[in-house]
Amino acid sequence: MARRSTALGFGVFGVSLAVLLVRFLVPRPVSMSDNGDGFRVLCGAGIKWISKPEKYVHLVYEATPGGCDPTYPLSQSWLARLAVVVGSDSDLNLVVLGVISSVLAAAAVAVVVVGLPYSLRVRLPVAVGLLLVMADSAFFGYFSSTLGEGTAFLGILLAVGGLLLMGRRWLGVGAAVTVVGGLMAVNAKVQTLMILPLLIIAVLLVTRSRWLPGVLVVLALAGGTWWAQTAVTPAVAPDGTASARPGDDSREINMVNTVFLNIIDGHHDTVADLASLGLPASFGQYAGNGWWHPHPVTLDPHYAQYRDRLSRRNVVKWFATHPDRTLGILNRAAGDLLTARPPYLASFDAAAGLPPAAQEYRVPLWSGLSALLAPLGLFALLPLWLFTAWRAWRHRQAALGVALAFLLTTLVGQFVLAALGDGIENVKHQVVALFCLLVAVILSFCPRPKSPAAAVGETPR
């Protein structure tokens, strides 16, 4: 049985890799353009770059003398640096990065399929479904880009595969895959750090009958994340101070965007909302103006006086005391999640001869279906969550149930963080949650295993 599963894994990997490489390179490479944050990944790869929103993709980034001192520990930078090493010179070629990511994506699909305790009748449809997710136009371009979401997708699927493998015969291999995938997913962005405690709980549940391997995996995940987050120079916050914790440099920016784009949006009782936040009525002139707007609240002469009111605690209190408005914001965010793809991220380089900001639609299956549901908002999203939760409960004695619970809690956490904590680029910031949702729905259709070999914590041979 183990040999058959191994052979199946290599077969799925080979076919998936071939499909993804053709999808990536034919008729020409695709990626996603810089939205203004690409300098972070590039700096981690040793390249200094001044980012701005681009209408075309840069397929090659030339090396810069002296390198770059990174301030953001993004796992996409790890792959970008590997692409620099693998490439023929010290430049970063996004085609090389895309090939490396395609290998990892194919491996992620394969380990999930191997970890499922089913016959080919179940495993092959799951492989096709997951491959279509990885190849979907809403996700695939991130793999060969300077944006951080690509390694979140790769890491989450690898971690799911690792959990499934640990729940079956391959405890050592599953532990290694979980650590690699977990470190990629957790360190993909500041927003994905919340995945760490969820994955730790999942690992301990899967290995509860053999606690030592589980503890070793947890130590590797926690230690690796600590090293990644402390191995870079602290980022500088808008007030000029060094960040004490990950995300401190963007906290004020996020709160300004959340308050003046989500709460003080110009479509509700602006005066009352300002009063409930402890802000002066004169700030109403900035309704709908985010941090980077030409006329932001940060230029107001009274901003420094009220700056402490733009805090997470104050914003959370407002959400808690205004449930109707909060529900409306969450409903809009659900529509953003299901929309799947922001219109401003281009897929092609200028040499393609296509209009600025042109996007590819080679594999739009899952994102196309989700976009059809986007107008329904929470009315479409909540049933999918409940379905996943029900299936996780049905599989609660198996590693699959743990994996489904991990995906569900991750997607809910990512959804809430993006909906209530960012305020801008809402469709892009929900893409990790959408990825988890699609993977969870596909795995939810697996039947309950008849064999006790799928039970959580099975003793490996």
Q: For the segment 337-389, what is each residue's pLDDT rounded down to a tens digit?
A: 999 999 999 999 999 999 999 999 999 999 999 999 999 999 999 999 999 99
Whole-structure pTM value = 0.95
Instruction: Over range 241-250, report the average pLDDT.
Output: 77
pLDDT in tens, 108-122: 999 999 999 999 999
Place of tokens 């490489």: 21
Take residue 41 and report the two structure tokens written for it.
Answer: 């990944």
DSSP string, 112-166: HHHHS-S-HHHHHHHHHHHHHHHHSTTTHHHHTSSSTHHHHHHHHHHHHHHHHHH
For the chain, the maximum distance between any two Cα atoms, rounded to a whole number of angstroms, is 72
Closest CA to 133 of 331, 401, 345, 340: 340
Please report, as a single letter, which amino acid is at residue 148: G
Please report the pLDDT score of residue 450 as a whole number.
62
Instruction: Over range 72-92, report the average pLDDT.
Output: 91
Burial class (CB in 10 A: 0-12, 13-18, 19+), 154: buried
Please report the pLDDT score of residue 1 as a whole number.
57
Task: Find how far residue 137's CA is from the centre of its chain.
Answer: 15
Please report the pLDDT score of residue 458 as a whole number.
43
3-state SS assignment for residue 307: helix
Instruction: Over range 40-57, report the average pLDDT.
Output: 93
Please report the pLDDT score of residue 169 as a whole number.
75
Q: Which pLDDT band holds residue 452 (cuts at 50, 70, 90)?
A: very low
Higher pLDDT, 138 or 208: 138
CB atoms within 10 A of CB 386: 11
Q: Residue-wise over 86-102: b if at least 16 C-beta within 10 A, else e?
A: eeeeebbbbbbbbbbbb
Element (H, E) at 92: strand 92-93
Please report the pLDDT score of residue 260 as a whole number.
95
Distance CA 177, CA 217 (A): 10
β-partners of residue 57 are 349
CA angle 411–159–140, rounded 5-degree value = 70
Take residue 335 and report the two structure tokens written for it.
Answer: 């529509």
* Omega cis (within 30) before 27: yes
Take residue 3 and report the two structure tokens written for it.
Answer: 């040999």
Higher pLDDT, 246 or 104: 104
Among the residue ranges 34-43, 173-182, 208-217, the one predicted with the least confidence is 208-217
Please report the pLDDT score of residue 451 as a whole number.
54
pLDDT in tens, 142-163: 999 999 999 999 999 999 999 9
Q: Which pLDDT band holds residue 457 (cuts at 50, 70, 90)?
A: very low
Mean pLDDT of the chain: 93
Among the residue ranges 37-51, 231-245, 336-350, 401-415, the one predicted with the least confidence is 231-245
Distance CA 105, CA 124 (A): 16
Instruction: Over range 193-202, report the average pLDDT.
Output: 98
Q: Which pLDDT band holds residue 461 (cuts at 50, 70, 90)?
A: very low
Instruction: Over range 393-398, report the average pLDDT.
Output: 94
- Flag whether pLDDT at 459 surpasses 70: no
Which own/partner pairs from 370-374 qualify as long-range (CB within 8 Å, at least 24 positions apart)? 370/337, 370/338, 370/339, 370/340, 370/434, 370/438, 371/338, 371/339, 371/340, 371/341, 373/338, 374/335, 374/336, 374/338, 374/339, 374/340
Element (H, E) at 93: strand 92-93
pLDDT in tens, 255-285: 999 999 999 998 989 999 999 999 999 999 9
Q: How many residues does the chain have?
A: 461
Instruction: Over range 80-90, report the average pLDDT.
Output: 88
Please report the pLDDT score of residue 250 as a whole number.
85
Distance CA 379, CA 232 (A): 42
Distance CA 298, CA 253 (A): 10
3-state SS assignment for residue 236: strand
- Flag whether pLDDT at 296 surpasses 60: yes
CA angle 383–387–389, rounded 5-degree value = 115
Q: Which pLDDT band holds residue 242 (cuts at 50, 70, 90)?
A: confident
Please report the pLDDT score of residue 66 as a whole number.
84
Element (H, E) at 369: helix 365-373
Q: Which pLDDT band holds residue 184 (cuts at 50, 70, 90)?
A: very high
β-partners of residue 455 are 398
- Flag whether pLDDT at 456 surpasses 60: no
Q: Residue-wise over 220-256: b if at least 16 C-beta within 10 A, else e?
A: bbeebbeebbeebeebebeeeeebeebebbbbbbbbb
